[in-house]
Amino acid sequence: MTKVAVIEIEGCMASSAAITHDVLATANRISAATRAPPFKATTVRCGSRRSDVDLRGIELVIVPGLGTPTADELVRKLKGSACRRAGDMVAHAFGRGAALAASCASTFVLAEAGLLDGRRATTTWWFAPLFRQRYPAVKLVPEQIVVADWPVATGGAAMAQMDLMLAIVSRFAGPGLAQACANYLLLEERRSQAPFMAITYLAGQDERIAKAEQWVRHNIARDFAIEELAAAVALAPRTFARRMAATCGVSPIQFVQRIRLETARFLLETTRLSVDEIARRVGYAEPSTLRRLIRRDTKHPPGHFRPAT
């Protein structure tokens, strides 16, 4: 039996905490017929008031999402006593051999304590620019929903707590039980946050990158070189690439491709234009290229996105 501490930081996202307990309870319930429950969970509520909590003997610490909607609010919360106290507790538990798991903005709590330095990690996609800025020693992969770099695992945006919990069940109780939990809870496997990442939101974090996004959308139907795009926003190609990576976490080519695919999907969902015509409108001379990229990124053919008739 794995001894688990669920650290609920004051103001944490209620659904994220509930998901954590629900999946652990489901795993225990499914296992009851054939073996002892695999998890014993303890809830630790971490607020502004000091409380003495002994996590000795805990083998896994889970930190549900913080529930902070903006970067400014997140930075303020990280400076608060609740997050600092939680970070200390997590660091001490980790030093005694406990594994760690956090999702969404709670990944910042682990990073603040230096526990993600040199590791691969993910976080909620819209906080990725802030995360890169604050924690350059972390190998951030924000397109991933879950990064299980054990003994530390991290999850992406809020509902990625469900995916993170299934990864935890798989790690500590076996993949068969994780699949049984997924079936019981009617969950689909999701491998990436990429389809949900709004490039407009990310680009807006940097004035030049936001201008580049607008330029691409105005010139989307024609072929152009990345050098031309960089020049349009008065940046050298290498500087442009560095700022693009820092802001959006992608290369300039991937940035352009993301906008083309986003526009193509919008046209598929809202018009009856042929795939060939849509491909031309978003700058692909060969419709097969658009079909291949859509299938690669979404695991579906273009027709999947047509409205039902």
| One domain, residues 235 and 185 | no
The CATH number covering residue 34 comes to: 3.40.50.880
pLDDT reported for residue 249: 79
The amino acid present at 111, given as its one-letter code, is A
Q: Tell whether the model's pLDDT for residue 71 goes beyond 80.
A: yes
Residue 232: is its pLDDT beyond 60? yes
Measured CA to CA in angstroms, residue 309 lies from 113, 181, 275, 302 at distances of 53, 35, 17, 16
Both 157 and 214 in one domain: the answer is no
Whole-number pLDDT of residue 155: 92
Question: Are 228 and 253 part of one and the same domain?
Answer: yes
Claim to verify: residue 223 and residue 87 sit in the same structural domain: no
Q: Which domain holds residue 228?
A: 198-305
Check pLDDT > 60 for residue 208.
Answer: yes
pLDDT digits (tens, 9 = 90+) for 34-59: 888 999 999 999 887 766 677 889 99
Q: Are residues 219 and 282 in the same domain?
A: yes
* pLDDT of 34: 81
- Do 176 and 105 belong to one domain? yes
pLDDT given for residue 165 in this prediction: 92
The string of pLDDT tens digits covering residues 111-149 is 999 999 999 999 988 888 899 999 999 999 887 888 989
Indicate whether 259 and 181 sit together in one domain: no
If residue 43 lies in a helix (H) or strand (E), which one and from where to where?
Answer: strand 39-46
Please tell me whether residues 213 and 190 are part of one structural domain. no
* pLDDT value of position 126: 85
Domain termination site, one of 194, 219, 245: 194
At which of 147, 178, 194 does a domain end? 194
Mean pLDDT of 2-6: 96
CATH of the domain at 286: 1.10.10.60
217 shares a domain with 93: no
State yes or no: pLDDT of 151 exceeds 90.
Answer: yes
Split at pLDDT 50, 70, 90, the class of 191 is low
Answer whether residue 284 shows pLDDT above 90.
Answer: yes
Buried-state track 120-139, b at ≥16 Cβ within 10 A, e below 16: ebbbbbbbbbbbbeebeebe
Q: What average pLDDT score do residues 64-84 get?
A: 91
CB neighbour class for 103 (10 Å; exposed up to 12, middle 13-18, buried from 19): buried
Instruction: Tell me the C-alpha distance between 128 and 206, whole Å.
Output: 13
Say if residue 151 is in the same domain as residue 247: no
Report which DSSP code applies to 133. Answer: H
Name the DSSP class of 192.
B
Q: Is the pLDDT of residue 13 over 70?
A: yes
Domain count, the chain: 2
pLDDT band at 292 (very low <50, low <70, confident <90, very high): very high
Query: Does residue 203 share a domain with residue 188?
Result: no
pLDDT for 210 beyond 60: yes
Containing 154, the helix (H) or strand (E) segment is strand 152-155
Higher pLDDT, 77 or 142: 77
Asked if 175 and 213 sit in the same domain, the reply is no
Mean pLDDT computed over 83-95: 94
Confidence (pTM): 0.70
Of residues 175 and 111, more confidently modeled: 111
Query: Which one of 162, 194, 226 terminates a domain?
Result: 194
